[in-house]
Amino acid sequence: MNLRHSIVTRFALFFTGLIVFSILLSGYLVFRKASQVITAHSKERIMHATELAEQSFYALLNEVTNDIAVIALSPTLQQHILQPSEKTTNDIDQLFRIILENKETYFQIRLLEADENGKEIIRFDKLEDRVLKLTDLQQKGDREYFKEALQINKGEHYFSNINLNEEYGVISTPFTPTLRVASPIFDNENKKVGILIININLSPLYLSLDQIAGNDSQFYLIDAQGQYLYSHDRSRQFGQQTRKFQNFYSDFNVSYSSQSLPKDGFHQLTGQNNSSYLSYFKELPYFDGKRKIFLISNMDQNILLKNALNVRSDSIQTLLWVCLFSILLSWFFTNLFSKKITKITKAISNYDQGIPDDHALPTNRKDEIGILANTFAKMKVKIDQNVLELNTALEKEQLARKQRDEFLQNMSHEMRTPLNAILGLTKLLYKNALEPQLPIINALERSSNSLAGLVYDVLDHQKLVEGKLHIQLESTNIAELLRNIHSTYLYEAVQKGLTFNLSIDKKLETTLFQTDALRLTQIVTNLVVNAIKYTKKGIISLSASINGTENQTLNIKVNDTGVGVLPKNLNRINDRFFMEKNDLSGRYGSYGLGLSIVKQLTSLFGGTLMASSEKGKGSEFLISIPTISSSTPKLAKPIPSSVLPLPKLSGNYNILHIEDDASTLELIKHILNFDNISLQQTKSLDEALKSINSDTLHLIISDLMLENEKINSRLEHWIEAKKINCPLIIISALDANEANTPYSEYFQKPFQIDQLKDTVHKILGSNEFKAPDFSNIYSNYDHDIPKINKVLKLLEKEFENYLKGINKIGGSKDQVKWEAMIHKLIAHINNLKLTDLKEVLPDKISAINIDVLNKINNVFAYYLCCIRAERHLNLKVGSS
C-alpha cells in the first residue's frame, strides 16, 4: 500500500504539521512582541535624543542672543556711537577681539552702517584660531540678511536662514554652515545708526548632533523645502547652494506640499534602497516663529530590529531541525504501525483489482484489526455472491437490449415503408384531384403525418436519450403548422364533446421562422394528444405568440380543463412511462412517452417547458423556444411539385429499382413516369444482378433490406467488383447512421418526392450537362454547412428570378436589358463554372428565338435541380 494513502501516514503528517505550525506561530508571536518592545524602547531613545538636540540648538540661540544684547548695550559701543574717537575705536576692537577669542562658535563680528549701502565700519574674522581685523571692508546693502535686519525694532534681534558662508558671492572654503544674528544700534535720539552682526559657525553644533545620534540613528536638519541643513553625510548639505539639489522629501519618498508640512511625531519612511526607517519629526521655530526648520531623527528598521532578527534566524534554524526530527520520527512510527494493517489492506486492494490472494487474514486477533479482517472476510463472500447475480442479470439485460434494438430496427423498416407509400401517394393524388376531393385528401395527408409523428416519437426516443438526435432548421410557416395540427385533432376533440380553440399571433401569420418543423410538430402534437386524453369535458386551447425583435422567442401554450396533475408529480414529467392513472385505454391509453419527448425535444431546441396544474381543474403547458425570422418577411405560397422546373432530358435512360415493398414500387413507378426513362423494378438480388449484367444502367435505386435481411455487404461487393458502374441512390427505412452506409445519396423513408426527383435528374442530367461547381462556395464559407445552405437558398431564388427575367427580355427584345442581365450572370458563370449556360447565351438579343429560349430554360432547370439536390445533401450532413 502506498504510504501517502495510509490513514496512519495522514495522522502522522497532520500532527507533525500541527507541531510545525505551533512552533511557527509561537516564533511569530515572540518576534512580534519583541519587535513591539524594541520599537517602543527605540521611540523613547529617539525622543530623548531629539530633546537633547533641540536643547543644544536653542542653547546656542540663547547664548548668542544674550551676547549680542550685551554687546549692543555695552558702554563701549554706545560711547563710540555717540562720540567716536580713536580711543573708542580701540576699545571696540578690543571688545570684538575678546568675544571672538572666547566664543568657539563665533567666527565673524561686524558693525555696519544703518543706511542703504550697509557699509562695514568695523569687522573682525576668526581664521584658524587667529582673530584678525580686516581693513578691506565691504558693502552688504544687497544682502538679504542685511535688508531684513534693517526692519527690526529696538530691543529685537534678527536671525537669518542657515546657509553656507559666502564672500563676494563665492562659497567660503572649507564649507561653513552659518547662522547670522543681528541687533540694531540706536543713538540718544533713538535713531538707528548701525547694525551689529555676529556670524555663528554651526559645525560644533553638528558635531554635537553626531554624538547625540550615536551609531544606530541619524539626525537631519531640513528647511521647509526639504533642503538638508545638517546631515551625517555632509555632502548632502545645502544642495541649493552647491547645485547638487539633494532633497530629503525625494530621498525618503515623503509626500510634500507647501500647504501641508510634515507634522511632529513618528512617521514610517522608505529610503531609495527600499530600506524602512522609523522617523521622528520635530519642528524647531526661531526668530519669534518667523523661521522654521525641522529636526528629524531616523533609525533603520533593520538596525532597530537587529537583535529580534537574529533571534528569528536562530529560531528558523532550530525549527528546521525540529521539523526534520519530527518527520523522521513520524516516518518511523508510520512504518511501525502501518505494517500491522498492510496485510489486510493489501488483501482488500488485491480483491478490488481481481488479483488472487492466498495470504491468511489475521481473523484471530481481538483488536480492531481482527474485527476489520473478520468483517472483510464476510463481506467478500457476500460480494462474490452478489457479483455473480449481477453478471447473470447483466447478460439478460444485454440480451434484452439487443432484442430491443433489433425490434426497433425492424419496426422502423416495417412502419416507415408503408408510411412512405401513403405520404407519397397522397401527394400524387393532388395532381388529378377534383375540388370536392381536396378536403378528403387533406384529411388523409394530415392523418398520415400524425401517424408519422407517433412513429417518430417511438423511434426517436432512444436517439434523444443517447444524444444522437439533432435539430434541422429551415424556414417554416409556424401558423400553418399549428392550423394543420388543430385540424387533425379537432374531430377527435369534438367526438369527446370538447371545444378545441386555436389562437395564433398575427406576426406568425405573415413571417417565416427558422425552426425544425418535424420536431416542433412532435412537441405540439404530444401536448395536444395529452390534453385530449386527460380532458373529459370542457375546453382545450392551443395558442402561439412570438416575443422580441432580434432574439425572438416562440411561446406555444396548451391549456385544458382536464383531471390535472398533482404538484408532487409535475417534476416527474421526465419519466419515460409515468402516468397518474393506469385505467386509460383505447387510442391514447398506455402511451407514456409523450411528455418525456416534449421535455427532451424542447431542451434540444434550447428552450424551456413550464407546467402548472391543479388537480381536478386542469393543466397548462408552456414551451418557449428561441427562433429567428427568415430573410423573407412575407410568406409565399408553396410551389406545387408540378411547377418545380426539371430539365427535359434528350437521351434515354435505364433505371433499376430494387425493392420488395409493393406500395413503394408503385410510388416510384409514378414518381419516375417520364417518357425518356425506362424503369425496371425487381424484388430480389438475383434478378437485380441479372439486369446489372445484361443491361446498360444509368442509375440504380435500392432499398437496404430485402426479405428482412440487410443487403449492404452485397451492394458494396458489387461496387468493388465493378459490377455496378453507375450512380446508386439508397431509399431505406433505416437511419443512415444505423445502416452504417457510405452512400451520400441516401433517402430515409418517408422521403420528399421532389427531393428524389431533383437527385434523379441531377444524376441523369450529368450525361448531358456539366453540373455547377460549388467548391468556391464551400471554400469561401469555410465549409460552414448552415451558412452554405443559406447561400444555396439565395442562389436558388436568384436563378429563378434570372429565368423569369430572361424570358421577359426575350419577348421584349431589349438589348440594353439583355446586356445588363448577361453582366449579372457573368459572376455566377465564372464562380460556378457554368460552361453550358455560357454557350447557350447569345451576345445579341436578336439571336434569341424559341429554340434558344428553350435551351436556356432547360439549362437553368438543370442548375436549379442541382442546387436543390445540394441543399438536400447538406441538410443530411448537418443533422448527422
Q: How far is CA 854 from CA 51, 204, 217, 803, in A?
A: 117, 122, 109, 11
Residues 3-26, mean pLDDT to the nearest whole number: 70
Contact 237, 251 (CB under 8 A): no
> Could you give the CA distance from residue 49 to residue 732 in angstroms, rounded to a whole number?
105
Is the dihedral angle over the CA atoms 594, 595, 596, 597 positive or is it negative?
A: positive
Which is more confident, 588 or 563?
A: 563
Per-residue pLDDT reduced to its tens digit, 644-673: 678 999 999 999 999 988 888 888 888 888
Cis peptide before 184 (omega within 30 of 0): no
Please tell me whether residue 742 adopts helix, strand or coil conformation. coil
Per-residue pLDDT reduced to its tens digit, 432-456: 777 777 777 777 776 777 677 666 6
> Could you give the CA distance from residue 425 to residue 219 in angstroms, rounded to a whole number?
110
Rama region for 74: left / alpha / beta (φ>0; ψ in -120 to 50; rest) = beta
| 366 CB-near residues (< 8 Å, 6+ apart) | none
Q: Residue 81: is its pLDDT beyond 90?
A: no
Which of 343-357, 405-419, 494-508, 710-724 has the least mean pLDDT? Answer: 405-419
| 796 CB-near residues (< 8 Å, 6+ apart) | 864, 867, 868, 871
Q: Burial level of 429, CB count in 10 A (0-12/13-18/19+)? A: middle
The letter for the amino acid at 506 is: K
Per-residue pLDDT reduced to its tens digit, 536-581: 889 999 999 998 777 789 999 999 998 887 666 666 554 443 444 4
Q: Burial level of 623, CB count in 10 A (0-12/13-18/19+)? A: buried
Contact 653, 674 (CB under 8 A): no
Instruction: Provide the grid cell at 703.
Output: 432499398
Q: Residue 336: is its pLDDT beyond 80?
A: no
Residues 405-425, mean pLDDT to the nearest whole number: 70
Per-residue pLDDT reduced to its tens digit, 596-624: 778 888 888 889 998 888 888 889 999 99
pLDDT of residue 60: 92
Q: Output b/e per residue, 844-873; b: 16+ Cβ within 10 A.
A: ebeebeeeeeebbbbbbbbbbbbbbbbbbb
Instruction: Provide the grid cell at 192.
Output: 538707528
Per-residue pLDDT reduced to its tens digit, 754-799: 889 999 999 999 999 999 999 999 998 888 888 888 889 889 889 9
Superfamily of domain 51-303: PAS domain (3.30.450.20)
Task: Tell me the angle at which helices 368-432 and 438-466 cross, rounded to the nearest 10 degrees.
Answer: 160
> Could you give the CA distance from residue 249 to residue 246 in angstroms, rounded to a whole number?
9
Residues 308-331, mean pLDDT to the nearest whole number: 73
pLDDT of residue 559: 93
pLDDT of residue 639: 40
Closest by CA position to 77, among listed 46, 34, 55, 109: 109
The letter for the amino acid at 822 is: I
pLDDT of residue 579: 44
Which phi and psi angles does 64 have, rounded to 5°?
-70, -30
Contact 348, 383 (CB under 8 A): no
Q: Residue 520: is its pLDDT beyond 50?
A: yes
- Report which secondary-structure segment, H or E, holds 194: strand 192-201
CB neighbourhood size of 690 (10 A): 12
DSSP 214: -
For residue 743, name the pLDDT band (cuts at 50, 70, 90).
low
Q: How far is CA 537 from CA 496, 501, 540, 582, 595, in A?
A: 7, 14, 9, 19, 21
Measure the CA angle with vertex 98, ends 94 and 99; round to 5°.
Answer: 120
Which is more confident, 476 or 11?
A: 476
| 558 CB-near residues (< 8 Å, 6+ apart) | 524, 527, 528, 530, 531, 540, 541, 542, 620, 621
Secondary structure (H, E, C), 263-285: CCEEEEEECCCCCEEEEEEEEEE
pLDDT of residue 557: 95
Per-residue pLDDT reduced to its tens digit, 836-872: 999 999 988 888 888 888 999 999 999 999 999 888 8
Question: How does strand 166-167 pair with strand 170-171?
Answer: antiparallel
For residue 419, name the pLDDT band (cuts at 50, 70, 90).
confident
Question: How does strand 106-113 pair with strand 192-201?
Answer: antiparallel
> Could you give the CA distance from residue 140 to residue 153 in angstroms, rounded to a whole number?
19
Measure the CA angle with vertex 623, ends 617 and 626; round to 5°.
Answer: 165
pLDDT of residue 585: 37
> Could you give the CA distance from residue 333 to residue 45 in angstroms, rounded to a whole number?
53
Contact 360, 344 (CB under 8 A): no
Please tell me whether residue 826 adopts helix, strand or coil conformation. helix
Please tell me whether residue 683 adopts helix, strand or coil conformation. coil
Q: Residue 586: is its pLDDT beyond 50?
A: no
Closest by CA position to 765, among listed 648, 871, 872: 648
Which of 82-91, 128-137, 493-502, 634-643 has the least mean pLDDT? Answer: 634-643
Measure the CA angle with vertex 676, ends 675 and 682; round to 5°.
Answer: 90
For residue 738, name the pLDDT band (cuts at 50, 70, 90).
low
Closest by CA position to 592, among listed 454, 766, 411, 473: 454
Which of 2-6, 234-238, 280-284 has the least mean pLDDT? Answer: 2-6
Residues 344-372, mean pLDDT to the nearest whole number: 73
Instruction: Provide the grid cell at 552.
Output: 425572438
Most confident stretch, 104-108, 341-345, 518-522: 104-108
| HSE-up of residue 422 (Cα within 13 Å, Cβ side) | 17
Per-residue pLDDT reduced to its tens digit, 145-157: 898 898 898 889 9
Residue with cell 563701549: 76
**pLDDT mean across residues, the chain:** 82
Please tell me whether residue 124 adopts helix, strand or coil conformation. strand
Question: How does strand 498-504 pair with strand 276-286?
Answer: unpaired
CATH code of the domain occupying 470-629: 3.30.565.10
Please tell me whether residue 483 adopts helix, strand or coil conformation. helix
- Report which secondary-structure segment, H or E, holds 802: helix 785-812
Q: Residue 322: is its pLDDT beyond 80?
A: no
Outline where 467-566 has alpha helix (H).
Answer: 478-495, 506-510, 517-533
CB neighbourhood size of 659 (10 A): 23
| 44 CB-near residues (< 8 Å, 6+ apart) | none
Which is more confident, 272 or 779?
A: 779
Q: Residue 464: is its pLDDT beyond 50?
A: yes
